[in-house]
Structure 1
Amino acid sequence: MVANSETALSVDSCSKCGGPVKDQPFAKTEQGYCCESCYLEMQTTKDWQQERIKTETVLAEVLASAIDLREHETGLHSKRVACHTLELARQCYPNDPELLRQIYWGALLHDIGKIGIPDAILLKGGPLTESEWKVMRTHPEKGYQIMSQIPDMQVAADIVFSHEERFDGSGYPRGLAGDAIPWGARLFAVIDTLDAMTSDRPYREGMLFDIAKAEIQRMAGVQFDPEAVELFLQAEPVMRRMVSLKCGTAVIP
């Protein structure tokens, strides 16, 4: 949209490149007016950025599926907990798509550090020994080391690092408690338990939603942040439907 003559007289430099604006500014942006060259570049890169985000998200989902497959997880575990966590996060951040995207990625790739856990431990049929548990408990930190290499994904990396923490401080790897645990990880903890309890396992059938709900309420203040549990209860109709469908129905930002 071409600026009117009054605005044109007051604009002498492009808000994007800082270069001189000849004649009149070409289009208005959030920062001000810009020249035609910058406007055309924005229109081109906007499409590329959207495609890049779509491609990156698909790659992350494929990687998460591969992690699930290696661990013999049931169905779409990682994508399911990511979509469910996203539903809770939307109640807190309805107007922050970038933050929601990071929370989705953090939940989706929460177990990426298990890539570094030997099969003999990860896939062991019986109980782990104390030394084996010591190795297993390194997977959040290994995941953080991977995720922290991705630019502008610190929130997601922090969720990966903290997804095994418990509200009372008895979790691992750092023994964080209360508000020291990233909010996204506190939301994820509720959803991960919900999915674990309602999913079929080789040794048992998935539990009913109401049984899982009662256990989550019982562990509020111990394993889970009471505020995160309250958000879960507020979203019960959506959560109940998503569990019954056993698939992620959330629209990814």
Structure 2
Amino acid sequence: MKNRDHWKPTKFDWKSGRLKGARDPVELGVGSRLVADLVAAQYQSHLKTNARGRLLDLGCGKVPLYSAYAPYVSEIVCVDWAPGEHIDLQCDLSQPLPFDSNRFDTIILSDVLEHIPEPQLLWSEMTRVLAPAGKIIMNVPFYYLVHEHPHDYYRYTNFALERFVKMNEMTLVKMSAIGGIVEIIADLFAKIVTRLPLIGRALAMLIQTLAWHFHKTRLGAKVAAISSQHFPLGYFVIAARKP
């Protein structure tokens, strides 16, 4: 990773020992804090036991997850289509990856797959460059606004993600829905009201805070688990190449 000493938090940050969405509106829109917190919680919970060795961060932008995975890996290679302070290699992810086979032990793909016009090619290439027993750790949105216009191509169900894993002869380690109907409603409400003058941002922060605290209760977890079968906000996935 280039200029590692100059890295600073962007989309995600640590607060009171928890990785969460940034509270700087320049780095993360006020209406996106809840979904960022939910995604951050998944990475914080699972990177320690799944990230290792040589890590490839694909479509990484400003490398927002760097502080979350850096303690567990020995090497970091950052790839994105555009130049950036920490980008080691500019690369079109809809084309073959310019790396040798079996090169990496871990691949991070955070909020990227929906922007890839040929996702099966990327899955094949990720599988190729992974070392035996290496892992892909990723998340994708589902009930989420169209973003990064015009390069927002797909929304994936758990069945589609499982199919990618199976087609590439990998093992599904984890598949978790990120939020359910309550989180979706809170996310949509926050994104709409944040545009209101004077009270919009305060209302957006309030509804997301309430939804987060409800999500952490036993009832909230149950509602999310049941409703996410039909109304997932997104998915978190870990897939492993066979040894």
Structure-1-length-normalised TM-score: 0.32
Normalized per residue, the structure richer in strand is: 2
Structure-2-length-normalised TM-score: 0.33
Q: Greater relative contact order (Cα 8 A, min sep 6): structure 1 or 2?
A: 2
- For the pair shown, the structure with the greater C-alpha radius of gyration is 1
